[in-house]
Amino acid sequence: MSLLQVQDLQVAYGGIAAVRGVSFSLAAGETLALIGANGAGKSSLLKALAGLTAARGQVLWQSCDWAGQPAHQRKRAGLALVPEGRGIFADMSVAENLRLGAYGRKDTAAVDAEMEALCRRLPRLRERWRQRAGTLSGGEQQMLAIARALLGRPRLLMLDEPSMGLAPIMVQQIYELIADIQRQGVALLLVEQAASRALRIAAQALVLEQGRVVLSGTGLELAGDERVRQAYLGGD
């Protein structure tokens, strides 16, 4: 059974269509990559799924219709979004940001254990524990944003441009963390302009242009497609 089914999703801002009839399904533990140029509708699609912007069409979560379901209920059901720009609370400490990721959970001991495990996996967070999150480097902020989302125990994690603006060594660390998340069985919906990395780890992939799906297939199929290579992979 699919974890998420999307049928004919449409998003518009005023009279401007941002997402035009996108359909796909995602199984538990599967990774789907969304690639496309700026303005293709990728971020609007993620925000619509998270309940942060109005949309038309059908969204089924484990076969339950999410029409009208607010964002906090979608999060409680197991969907988490790390937005473009990370969305951390800059004036709060690293520790306070992480605690907010577990908001609503009552299993305090388990939360503490998971925070400790994340800090072992990401020691820079431990080093910056009481530091204001806004003073972290871009890569550290991205790690914090992902760790915060994981403390909500998502079944589907949506990552919007996780490598944008980061140095190559930080991009490598972020993708090592993403690989860990995949091994834990969390489904991923990954938006990336660094398309080659995203396609290498994706079971399926969609190419969006002007809000529409123009190509679909496995990650490896699209990585080998000449149109994708020329437009998004620099011909490599």
* SS3 label, residue 75: helix
Over 50: is that where the pLDDT of 138 sits?
A: yes
- What is the biggest distance separating any 2 CA atoms in the chain, rounded to whole angstroms? 51
Number of H helices, E strands in the chain: 10, 10
* SS3 label, residue 81: strand
CB 202 within 8 A of CB 45: no
Residue 165: the pLDDT is 87
User: What are the structure tokens assigned to 162, written together?
Assistant: 């996780």
Q: Annotate 170-186 with DSSP letters as a single string.
A: HHHHHHHHHHHHHHTT-
Residue 236: the pLDDT is 46
Question: Which H/E stretch holds residue 121?
Answer: helix 108-121
**Location of structure tokens 């989302």:** 149
CB 215 within 8 A of CB 228: yes
Over 60: is that where the pLDDT of 235 sits?
A: no
Separation CA 65–CA 6 (nearest Å): 10
Residue 86: the pLDDT is 87
User: How do 31-35 and 56-61 pair as beta strands?
Assistant: unpaired
Residue 51: the pLDDT is 96
Give the tens place of pLDDT for each residue, 50-75: 999 999 999 999 999 999 899 999 99
- What is the value of pTM for the model shown? 0.93
Residue 231, CB half-sphere, CA atoms under 13 Å: how many?
Answer: 15
